[in-house]
């Protein structure tokens, strides 16, 4: 009898473990635009997968369940989505062990273009200079009206003092107010309500420390 109980309990925990760590992602589209392409990559890998929905569309305010069982043993993923206008949305370091729902919003809009994308008609370039006196590990550019900073534009890189970095903006409006934030070991440096336009250079200094 005890042996039967042990077998039943073991089977129960095995089933619960399978359900809990299911390699499925529920993609919820809250961008306001239809999503035509989905690419995925285990975090840390350089290459994206092929399009996971070559013949399908995730309509705005709808969802799709994505089967990732082919990535056996992987649960930390990066996701890339392309909408009807060709704009890209990036979500990184998504842990499917913690949450299966992947909500894609305008805050995930990527406006750093790959080298082969430079030259699109809707792109414009902004230069940001670090004059804070220290090395910057994180940089954020967000519309002033947004409630989120979005992702770190430097990712795993950094900016030395007195260095300048260019960012190719696509899918974002010119001549509206943005907030710019640099994070270093010395603190956070912020400029608010900065009007960005093509070829403008923004200089962040020690006077911008929060």
One DSSP character per residue, 74-128 reads: --EEEEEEEETTS-EEEEEEEETTT--EEEEEGGGEE----GGGTT-TT-EEEEE
Cβ atoms of 140 and 178 closer than 8 Å: no
Question: Do 115-208 and 2-110 fall under one CATH topology?
Answer: yes
Residues of the chain whose pLDDT is less than 70?
1-22, 110-123, 170-174
- Condensed to tens digits (0 to 9), the pLDDT of residues 101-132 reads 999 987 777 655 443 444 444 567 888 999 99
pLDDT for position 15: 42
Domains of the chain, residue spans: 2-110, 115-208
pTM exceeding 0.75: no
Under a CB-based contact definition with an 8 Å cutoff, are residues 195 and 146 in contact? no
Candidates 2.60.40, 2.60.120, 3.10.20, 1.10.8; correct CATH number of 2-110? 2.60.40
CB atoms within 10 A of CB 146: 12
Q: Distance between CA atoms of 181 and 204, rounded to whole angstroms? A: 8
Asked if CATH classification 2.60.40.2890 holds for the domain at 115-208, the reply, yes or no, is: yes
pLDDT at residue 35, rounded to an integer: 94
pLDDT of residue 124: 75
């Amino acid at each position: 009898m005890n042996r039967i109980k042990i077998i039943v309990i073991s089977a129960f925990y095995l089933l619960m473990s399978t359900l809990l760590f299911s390699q499925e992602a529920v993609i919820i589209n809250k961008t306001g635009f239809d999503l035509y392409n989905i690419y995925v990559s285990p975090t840390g890998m350089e290459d994206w997968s092929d399009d996971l929905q070559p013949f399908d569309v995730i309509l705005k305010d709808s969802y799709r369940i994505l089967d990732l069982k082919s990535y056996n043993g992987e649960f930390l993923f990066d996701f890339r989505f392309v909408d009807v206008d060709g704009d890209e949305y990036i979500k990184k370091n998504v842990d499917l062990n913690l949450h299966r729902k992947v909500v894609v919003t305008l805050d995930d809009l990527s406006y750093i273009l790959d080298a082969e994308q430079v030259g699109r008609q809707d792109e414009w370039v902004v230069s940001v200079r670090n004059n804070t006196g220290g090395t910057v590990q994180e940089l954020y550019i967000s519309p002033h009206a947004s409630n989120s900073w979005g992702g770190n534009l430097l990712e795993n890189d950094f900016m030395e003092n007195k260095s300048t970095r260019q960012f190719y903006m696509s899918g974002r409006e010119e001549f509206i107010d943005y907030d710019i934030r640099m994070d270093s070991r010395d603190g956070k440096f912020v400029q608010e309500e900065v009007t960005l336009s093509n070829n403008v250079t923004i200089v962040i200094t020690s006077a911008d420390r929060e």
